[in-house]
Structure 1
């Protein structure tokens, strides 16, 4: 299933930084019917199954030259010389670029105009950027045509003309350009509809590109796709998008997409082994999860009914989120938690405007008896610490927080900030 459930996410763009995957995504609003996209989000992981929500890192408001409020389409972030560059299409208005000194932002516009804008058409979407071993950077983009420029070392300008490429078999949009073991790859969303994920290979960063087939075939199980590919801790991963979270709720179509990921393998000649659809793939947890620290509550492998909001819009840590929208029966799952020799108690920082509720702590299954319960009381706007003893649990287990209301309140029970177990 998709890796994010608290928001609708699309157009995955993974980046490796300091032994952590930074996953940038576009964002479909929760009431979207067509494309309703205002900002770009960030999620991080070190184990590939538990993801921390880092909030919105940029929005259309960053581009002062664009007065529209919709069109924040598929982006990519790359790092060069300690700075971070976000390439953002604004549908119908070209491709802009933002810069930051941190992968968390804040991102700002260094040029005050589009980096690329071919005003005679609306094909300038879905940029992908790669810096080759010789230091030359390239930006590919386009639907239904494929274009490329050579970026200058400053990463916010380019030299030469815009290059136009012959049609690659099955190419539609969403290119993802990278290099591995001397081979150049261009993965892409294949011809709609439904879209799959196709790819081409070349011996040169500027082609010619040879179509190689599917990473994931066209399937009626999803309508669109958009690849993002990364190697991490000895494995390769292909991210994409689908409508599987939305379809848990409704049996119709709306542009409310969700990002999924699958482990990907290469053949000895560099070609890619075709994947089944995301629901038929399984991603293994790379390392166990440490509960003996302050864990942001917005870190999860799966959830039901939850949302996230910015903790303090005026604070310095704009990435910090709260878990909210918590109703009776909702739950949160953290996978592969290593309790070691056991914990003596559990603490969680929460706030409740009214009557609050209860958090049940389960391991391995919500049907198992809880190892502890926490009563969250009335705190007004203040985040307070609540602590409870827990039954001794050793080793590695999946951890469930199940939320229960009271006779006085069954919805909007409380907000959650962070939590921690304390070892024996």
Structure 2
């Protein structure tokens, strides 16, 4: 009796300590680390192509290419790779998927160069355009495409825009722009320009769109926690000339709200509306461990852009989609919890955060927080307590670093003592979430991670 009471007390103390953990990363767009997002709605589905972050080697590598999809802009998923040939490459900053010539074109940066790729569907699989060694086929890669050659057009971060007359344009690093040829895989070399902007310095991650007859060109300044976006506008042509308003910085670090380095992302519109949104990476974990957030983009009567009201709260559902009833989690436990991680760039920087890894974060519906097992925990598990015996139809687990794949066992129990398997899989599968259709009654569910990073962004139980 005394031992039982002691165990209950120890659990209560541990649970209280976990519950006090704070999530400083808010509600990220997807439950993973991604940057350089290109977002669009195609036939009622939102697509998010992006750089996969979180592989802990900086710019020496990247995660593989996956496309996150959502019907409502809240619940996202992916399965497998949409660009198989680039899985083992450094794959960065893909453009949106552009529909033209009866096919889809996408323009990622692979191993430091932009390439055009083609597929019959925005889901892929995409393949490099036949016979094209790089995006700028008319140029000589050795002289014009190397990133360390500032005298010519370098080749990363393609942003493609199709005007109302069907003419395509491409914008890229260091403020370069050009017309696309009709084949969508080469450019009109005579049209290449370098846009003269109000603010100077290195620039990447261009964003381009058109609204109410005005062309908008967004370009980045700086990097890391000092990432910013400035913009210009033209009523003449996608290639300018551009006017640059006095109040031309639309996103910058907000130290009061602890939002650092809002950088390379995109602007997208919900078709049929005048609702525009600004997606951006946030430098809150440093290096290439970034997440993406979305805020509204608003305009003044004269068409100028208002500085973005940056928050980490997200924008919620952009489409109404019927959803099944979720089961509320009363308590959670885990085999262990990783120690708090203090994130700070240097002594002079105001950039400082503490990340905690409580098991409760797997049930908070905030994609910026996660449970992580302790470093020495080789048999990691996380447990959900439903409070009472309930009928369970489905489990959906969003693991940490899902693009590397996971294997796991799902178990259930009515009393927390006797456990029976009810789902999971032994092979390592690359997808998120991992779904198990169930027909059981239980109070407890437990996930044991067999392979893959030992952590969970979110766990939904229906």
Cα gap change, 1:165 to 1:5, in 2 (>3 Å): closer
Paired residue secondary structure (1:328)? strand
* 1:38–1:60 contact (8 Å) kept in structure 2: no
* Residue 40 of structure 2: aligned partner: 15
Q: Structure 2: how far apart are the matches of 1:228 and 1:133?
A: 20
* Residue 357 of structure 1: aligned partner: 411
The structure with the largest strand share of the pair is 1
* 1:12–1:25 contact (8 Å) kept in structure 2: yes
Would you say 1:173 and 2:204 are equivalent positions? yes
Cα gap change, 1:4 to 1:326, in 2 (>3 Å): farther
* Residue 230 of structure 1: aligned partner: 268
Q: Structure 2: how far apart are the matches of 1:174 and 1:104?
A: 23
Structure with higher Rg: it is 2
Paired residue secondary structure (2:86)? helix
* TM-score (ref. length: structure 2): 0.63
**1:229 to partner: Cα distance:** 0.7
**1:38 to partner: Cα distance:** 4.8
* Residue 64 of structure 2: aligned partner: 39
Count of paired positions? 344
* TM-score (ref. length: structure 1): 0.68
Aligned partner of 1:107 among 126, 135, 141: 126
Aligned partner of 1:95 among 109, 114, 122: 114
Residues 269-311 of structure 1: CA distance to partner in whole angstroms, max 9, x if unpaired? Answer: 11112113332x5413234442359xxxxxx76373489xxxx
**1:54 to partner: Cα distance:** 4.1
**1:200 to partner: Cα distance:** 1.1
Q: Structure 1: how far apart are the matches of 2:47 and 2:177?
A: 25
* Residue 311 of structure 2: aligned partner: 278
Would you say 1:79 and 2:99 are equivalent positions? yes
**1:205 to partner: Cα distance:** 1.0
Aligned partner of 2:323 among 277, 291, 294: 291
| Structure 2: tracts of 5 or more residues without a match | 1-25, 148-153, 326-364, 374-378, 398-405, 428-434
Aligned partner of 2:250 among 192, 208, 215: 215
The structure with the largest helix share of the pair is 2
After superposition, the CA RMSD in angstroms is 4.1
* 2:160–2:168 contact (8 Å) kept in structure 1: yes
Cα gap change, 1:243 to 1:304, in 2 (>3 Å): same
* 2:109–2:156 contact (8 Å) kept in structure 1: yes
| Structure 1: tracts of 5 or more residues without a match | 63-68, 248-252, 294-299, 308-324, 332-343, 361-373, 392-401
* Residue 142 of structure 2: aligned partner: 119
* 2:30–2:76 contact (8 Å) kept in structure 1: no
* Residue 341 of structure 1: aligned partner: none
Residues 306-362 of structure 1: CA distance to partner in whole angstroms, max 9, x if unpaired? Answer: 89xxxxxxxxxxxxxxxxx9831589xxxxxxxxxxxx95422799988743499xx
Q: Structure 2: how far apart are the matches of 1:347 and 1:414?
A: 23
Q: Structure 1: how far apart are the matches of 2:79 and 2:449?
A: 28
**1:56 to partner: Cα distance:** 2.9
**1:97 to partner: Cα distance:** 0.7
Residues 116-170 of structure 1: CA distance to partner in whole angstroms, max 9, x if unpaired? Answer: 265334132111001101111000111xx21122111221122233322224425
* Residue 395 of structure 1: aligned partner: none
Q: Structure 2: how far apart are the matches of 1:80 and 1:190?
A: 32
* 2:55–2:62 contact (8 Å) kept in structure 1: no
Q: Structure 2: how far apart are the matches of 1:133 and 1:326?
A: 54
Aligned partner of 2:438 among 373, 386, 389: 386
Cα gap change, 1:379 to 1:160, in 2 (>3 Å): closer
Q: Structure 2: how far apart are the matches of 1:384 and 1:241?
A: 32
